Amino acid sequence: MTDRFDTGVAHPARRYNYWLGGKDNFAADRESGDLLAKSYPAARIAARANRAFLGRAVRYVAADAGIRQFLDVGTGLPTANNTHQVAQLVAPDARIVYVDNDPMVMAHARALLTSTPEGETRYIEDDLRNPDKILGEAAEVLDLSRPVGLILVAVVHFLADHAEANRVVGTLLDALAPGSHLVMSYATTDFLTPELKANWDESLRTGRSDVHPRSRAEFDEFLTGLEVIEPGVVPVGDWRPDPDGDEHPSPVEASIFGVVARKVIR
Ligand SMILES: C[S@@+](CC[C@H](N)C(=O)[O-])C[C@H]1O[C@@H](n2cnc3c(N)ncnc32)[C@H](O)[C@@H]1O
């Protein structure tokens, strides 16, 4: 058993589940979530806004861009509007490969993220830092000679090293066919007050947080060679919000960049 199953240690997927109002979390996750929410009070709003962005963006990629296969790295614990549900609502034959490095997430995913009969869902327990291995396994289900929706939502910011983050995203994108779409979100402190920013830095320094925020300029580096879809790189709450959606958080509340971009030539 790995320490990932240690319920006495807070874990990002379970903490995020707590912020989203889910039940798959333990005392240590709730404690960590509450502690972080003290330095960034809008944490819950940000989690919900990020999750809503994921749904809207996957719907766009399936419905507007016509993509029928998805590689979702950093799956998260199953909740409402999981990637395959959104995609298969548009196209029941859509195929989705879910990847996460947390065995607990993958156990829940295998049980709950089940496909339509026409489509397929597959699960890979692996780390984002191994993009070549992930691509090799994903190719058993996805036809990589055809466009893919690559979902990197609220996951790359767990990589502390920016060069490594760039390498990982670049390797994944390089392997995908032109016409593929990247859906990405990423925590930033660009919109925060100096006080909130200092709180975040302090959380990282003391090990209370494992989310490494990056600036707009750093985020743009991930998008080299891609055609950014309107409205561009924006706080997640501003990415094509549903007109009748009940929440429209400000950039300070949902301090996460979101983007959908199309691979042309890389
Ligand atoms: C904040 S959740 C995001 C879930 C989902 N993408 C969403 O936005 O709703 C982050 C997920 O990424 C996973 N994760 C974190 N670091 C990872 C890594 N290096 N490789 C693969 N998965 C990772 C966590 O286990 C967790 O399930």
**Domains of the chain with bracketed CATH:** 3-238+246-263 (3.40.50.150)
> Residues 81-86: what's their mean pLDDT?
94
| Nearest ligand 1 atom to alpha carbon 50 | 8
The whole-angstrom separation of Cα 151 and Cα 37 is 26
Residue 79: pLDDT band with limits 50, 70, 90? confident
Ligand 1 in reach of 131 Cβ (< 6 A): no
| Nearest ligand 1 atom to alpha carbon 51 | 9
Ligand 1 in reach of 61 Cβ (< 6 A): no
Q: Find the helix or strand (DSSP H, E) in which 261 lies.
A: strand 256-263
- pLDDT value at position 195? 92
Ligand 1 in reach of 101 Cβ (< 6 A): yes
For β-strands 120-125 and 226-228, DSSP reports them as unpaired
Number of neighbours of residue 4 by Cβ within 10 angstroms: 15
Q: What is the pLDDT of residues 5-62, one digit of tens each?
A: 678 888 889 999 999 999 999 999 999 999 888 888 899 999 999 999 999 999 999 9
What is the CA(183)–ligand 1 centre distance, in A? 14
Residue of 155, 157, 183, 185 with the most ligand 1 atoms within 8 Å of its CB, for mutation: 155
Report angle CA 107, 140, 117 to the nearest 5 degrees. Answer: 65
> Residues 178-194: what's their mean pLDDT?
96
Ligand 1 in reach of 158 Cβ (< 6 A): yes
Q: How many CA atoms lie within 13 A of 41 on its CB side?
A: 3
Residue 215: pLDDT band with limits 50, 70, 90? very high
User: The pTM is what?
Assistant: 0.95
For the chain, give the number of residues: 266
